[in-house]
Amino acid sequence: MISRSECQARDERDPLAPLRHQFYLPEGLIYLDGNSLGALPLAVSECLRTTLEREWGSDLIGSWNAHDWIGLPERLGNMIAPLIGAASGQVIVADSVSVNLFKLLSAGLNLKPGRTTVLSTTDNFPTDLYMAQGLAEMLGDQRCVLQTVGRTELVDGINETTAIVLLTHVDFRSGRMFDMSELTRAAQQRGALVLWDLSHSVGAVPLTLDADRVDMAVGCGYKYLNGGPGAPAFLYLAERHHIEARQPLAGWMGHADPFAFSPDYTQAPAMQGFLTGTPPVLAYRALEAALAVWGSVSIQQVRRKSVELAELFVALVDETSTLDELELRSPRHAADRGSHVAFAHPSGYSIMQALIDRKVVGDFREPDLLRYGFAPLYVRYVDVWDAVAVLRDVIETRIYEAPRYSVRGAVT
């Protein structure tokens, strides 16, 4: 049996432990949902105050130049680049993951004339599929067709019609992780491009996009990057595609010379051309402050702790006989998982509500999944022990059967 004091001892030895003090975390709350919305870094509050009072408040419009607001998309892109194994100049921060998918899917189809299929998995995150469906509807099936297959049929599904293989690296339900290097190679050997969604990977799993010769990628700013609710997303395009790639959302911020106010669109070179409208500066500043933590921490260290936290959670559930009714839906082997684990239970929704009521926050995914995310910058080993103890209590007492725990909110 793993004891609470063993977990406390692990926290004392943990080189990442001091980072927790850089986050605002409510007293007594165990937050295992950083895979949905990262915790608030203290530096973000401070940075936003300065941005509001000094930049927006005092310097007003002059801040675009004086405080380089205009350079934020590129600057933040270059801060994210090392986290995904990309040389600078290939990542830009803009819009949402969904919008960036649209831009890159369209650009990718144009890079592969004669090929029309976007191949993805049936279990991909819905927005990835919806964006491809929307594009297919707009372009017609002469230009774009979405084909979805099961994960095991993926490689065989890539053929001479496949323009883009669109995949989410870490599955949002199970946490199962694709082998990015192997699948990228398989797609490219068959003449297709790859577009990876890194939303559940960036800031949790080491990534090597350049070394794996990935073509395109997108990812979230509000999960493990802690950029705040609705933080801007990012997109990656390998340098070898920069000259040819064209994106369809031709807004003025992506123009080669926006302040010439020319009536005709000329896409800016490289990643700048993937911008569309005015960047929401407050959201960018929040993300910028949140990214500063990566200056003093390595993603390898973070991954090591993420694996240990998830392994601890699974081991504690395994050794508790009253938790037998929970069925692990994530891979058993840590190497096959990202930074969250999922368990199925027919009363998953009510159990999660009862846990949240007892200050253990995870989330629920239809139809029956309890998800727990482990954000190593601020989650402690002892949090995992305490979370499983509360889970055991909720299940043993069947408190979750109380009618109030089955009331559904708009967001689960």
Ligand X SMILES: Cc1ncc(COP(=O)(O)O)c(C=O)c1O
Report the residue from 23, 31, 102, 125 that binds ligand X according to the rule CB under 6 A.
125
- Give the residue with the Cβ less far from ligand X, 125 or 378: 125
Residue type (1 letter), 212 = D
Q: What are phi and psi of 97, to 5 degrees?
A: -55, -45
- Give the residue with the Cβ less far from ligand X, 197 or 215: 197
Q: Does 320 bind ligand X (CB under 6 A)?
A: no
In this chain, which stretch among 74-82, 195-203, 390-398, 404-412 interacts with ligand X, using CB under 6 A?
195-203
- Give the residue with the Cβ less far from ligand X, 234 or 381: 234
State in angstroms the smallest separation of the CB of 32 from ligand X: 16
State in angstroms the smallest separation of the CB of 366 from ligand X: 14
Report the residue from 76, 86, 217, 220 that binds ligand X according to the rule CB under 6 A.
220
Tell me how crowded residue 198 is: count the other CB atoms within 10 A of its CB. Answer: 29
Distances (CA, A) of 275 to 1, 73, 285: 53, 8, 17
State in angstroms the smallest separation of the CB of 168 from ligand X: 4
- Cβ distance 222 to 228 under 8 Å? yes
State in angstroms the smallest separation of the CB of 352 from ligand X: 16
| 3-class DSSP string for 270-287 | HHHHHCCCCCCHHHHHHH
In this chain, which stretch among 24-32, 61-69, 82-90, 92-100 interacts with ligand X, using CB under 6 A?
92-100
d(CA 93, CA 225): 13
- Cβ distance 165 to 174 under 8 Å? no
3-state DSSP helix/strand/coil % of the chain, to nearest 5: 45, 15, 40
Report the residue from 74, 197, 212, 288 that binds ligand X according to the rule CB under 6 A.
197
Q: Does 172 bind ligand X (CB under 6 A)?
A: yes
Q: Which residues are catalytic?
A: 125, 197, 222-223, 371
| Cα 114 from chain centroid (whole Å) | 32
DSSP secondary structure letters along 162-179? EEEEEEESB-TTT-BB--
- Give the residue with the Cβ less far from ligand X, 96 or 147: 96
Q: Does 102 bind ligand X (CB under 6 A)?
A: no
Q: Does 98 bind ligand X (CB under 6 A)?
A: yes
Q: Does 97 bind ligand X (CB under 6 A)?
A: yes
d(CA 244, CA 238): 11
Tell me the per-residue interface mask from 273 to 302 with ligand X, x by CB under 6 A, - otherwise: ------------------------------
Query: Residue 404 burial (CB < 10 Å; 0-12/13-18/19+)?
Result: exposed
- Give the residue with the Cβ less far from ligand X, 200 or 305: 200
Residue 16: which of 276, 308, 211 has the closest Cα?
A: 308
Residue tagged 């509807």 (tokens): 137
Report the residue from 50, 96, 147, 161 that binds ligand X according to the rule CB under 6 A.
96
Query: Residue 321 burial (CB < 10 Å; 0-12/13-18/19+)?
Result: exposed
Tell me the per-residue interface mask from 132 to 171 with ligand X, x by CB under 6 A, - otherwise: ------------------------------------x---
State in angstroms the smallest separation of the CB of 288 from ligand X: 18
State in angstroms the smallest separation of the CB of 342 from ligand X: 13
Q: What are phi and psi of 366, to 5 degrees?
A: -55, 150
State in angstroms the smallest separation of the CB of 54 from ligand X: 29
DSSP, collapsed to helix, strand or coil, labels residue 120 as: strand
Report the residue from 11, 70, 75, 127 that binds ligand X according to the rule CB under 6 A.
127
Q: Does 177 bind ligand X (CB under 6 A)?
A: no
Who contacts 264 (Cβ-Cβ below 8 Å, separation ≥6)?
A: none
Q: Does 55 bind ligand X (CB under 6 A)?
A: no
Residue 387: which of 356, 345, 364 has the closest Cα?
A: 356
State in angstroms the smallest separation of the CB of 163 from ligand X: 20
Q: Contact residues for ligand X (CB under 6 A)?
A: 96-98, 125, 127-128, 168, 172, 197, 199-200, 220, 233
